[in-house]
């Protein structure tokens, strides 16, 4: 009897179809409170934002080819994409707290690109060219070329009022501002690191917290809430 039961159990195990474990079903992302998940200067159907023409600082735009944007970077409204999953891990945030996926899509092609002082391409890029390129691709915003010029031209933000999309500035050498990154929430920012290229770091890391100078926000006119996506 025991032998028959053992044979029957073995036969059932062989004939049972194997079902691989499901990692995660697609989760709907509700577009409620979307204003809190994207920069305050991200306007819907707006013309490119620029600084006043009277500014003595030369403005440059570092474009990025649309072909560099991965197909995984775009998804239907309300569906979690591979891009969102990737940045959920990098930023240690839940899916509902992530920045606007369009901002993430502008950042993603640069991830891992090596640092090169004065560089503006996929072969190498520096911190200020990186921030200028991302904001240009994302919202048509043109920033001054250098880190110190960006610091001077953007609006000061109190430490307790820093929002996604604000620029974080650091003093990594000498007494002047010498490094910049884009704040993405949860104390994380993305930047072109001289040692590791474009990457996500925490502003709470001792190296950055001890060298933090301040945050700045791209200027924008007062607009209605309907201007935001």
Express each pLDDT in 116-139 by its tens digit: 999 999 999 999 999 999 999 998
Q: Percent of the chain, pLDDT > 90?
A: 54
**pLDDT value, residue 59:** 45
**pLDDT value, residue 61:** 47
**pLDDT value, residue 188:** 97
User: Exposure string (b/e) for 118-129, b if CB count within 10 Å is 16 or more?
Assistant: ebbeeebbbbbb
Domain holding 147: CATH number?
A: 3.90.1720.10
pLDDT of 150 over the 90 cut: yes
Q: Is residue 117 part of a domain?
A: yes
Closest CA to 148 of 182, 115, 178, 181: 178
Query: How many Cα neighbours within 13 Å face the side chain of 51?
Result: 21
Domain range spanning residue 97?
29-227
pLDDT of 6 over the 90 cut: no
Q: Is residue 11 part of a domain?
A: no
What tens digit of pLDDT does each residue of 56-89 get? 444 444 444 444 444 444 444 445 689 999 999 9
Q: Is residue 12 part of a domain?
A: no
pTM of the model: 0.69
pLDDT of 229 over the 80 cut: no
Q: Which residues are catalytic?
A: 127, 179, 191
What tens digit of pLDDT does each residue of 177-226 get? 999 999 999 999 999 999 999 999 999 999 999 999 999 998 863 222 33
Q: Is residue 110 part of a domain?
A: yes
Q: Is residue 156 part of a domain?
A: yes
Stretch 27-50: mean pLDDT: 49
Stretch 35-49: mean pLDDT: 52
**pLDDT value, residue 124:** 97
pLDDT of 141 over the 80 cut: yes
Q: Is residue 7 part of a domain?
A: no
Q: Is residue 4 part of a domain?
A: no
Which of the two residues, 36 and 187, has the higher pLDDT score? 187
CA distances to 123, 210, 218 from 106, rounded to whole Å, are 17, 29, 17
Q: Is residue 9 part of a domain?
A: no
Q: Total structural domains in the chain?
A: 1
**pLDDT value, residue 45:** 44
197-202 and 188-193 as β-strands: parallel, antiparallel, unpaired? antiparallel
């Amino acid at each position: 009897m025991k032998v028959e039961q053992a044979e029957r159990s073995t036969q059932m195990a062989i004939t049972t179809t194997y079902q691989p474990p499901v990692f995660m079903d697609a989760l709907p992302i509700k577009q409620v409170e979307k204003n809190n998940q994207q920069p305050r200067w991200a306007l819907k159907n707006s013309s490119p934002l620029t600084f006043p023409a009277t500014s003595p600082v030369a403005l440059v735009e570092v474009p990025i080819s649309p072909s560099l944007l991965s197909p995984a970077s775009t998804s239907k409204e309300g569906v979690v994409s591979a891009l969102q999953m990737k940045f959920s891990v990098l930023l240690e945030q839940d899916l509902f707290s992530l920045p606007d996926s369009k901002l993430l899509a502008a950042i993603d092609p640069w991830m891992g690109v090596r640092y090169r002082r004065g560089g503006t391409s996929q072969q190498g890029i520096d911190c200020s060219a990186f921030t200028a390129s991302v904001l240009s691709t994302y919202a048509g915003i043109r920033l001054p070329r250098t880190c110190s010029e960006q610091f001077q031209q953007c609006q000061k933000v109190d430490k307790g009022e820093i929002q996604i999309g604000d620029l974080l500035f650091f003093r990594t050498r000498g007494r002047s501002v010498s490094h910049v990154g884009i704040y993405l929430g949860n104390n994380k920012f993305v930047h072109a690191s001289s040692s590791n290229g474009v990457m996500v770091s925490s502003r709470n890391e001792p190296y950055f917290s001890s060298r933090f100078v301040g945050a700045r926000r791209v200027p924008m006119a007062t607009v209605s809430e309907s201007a935001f996506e």
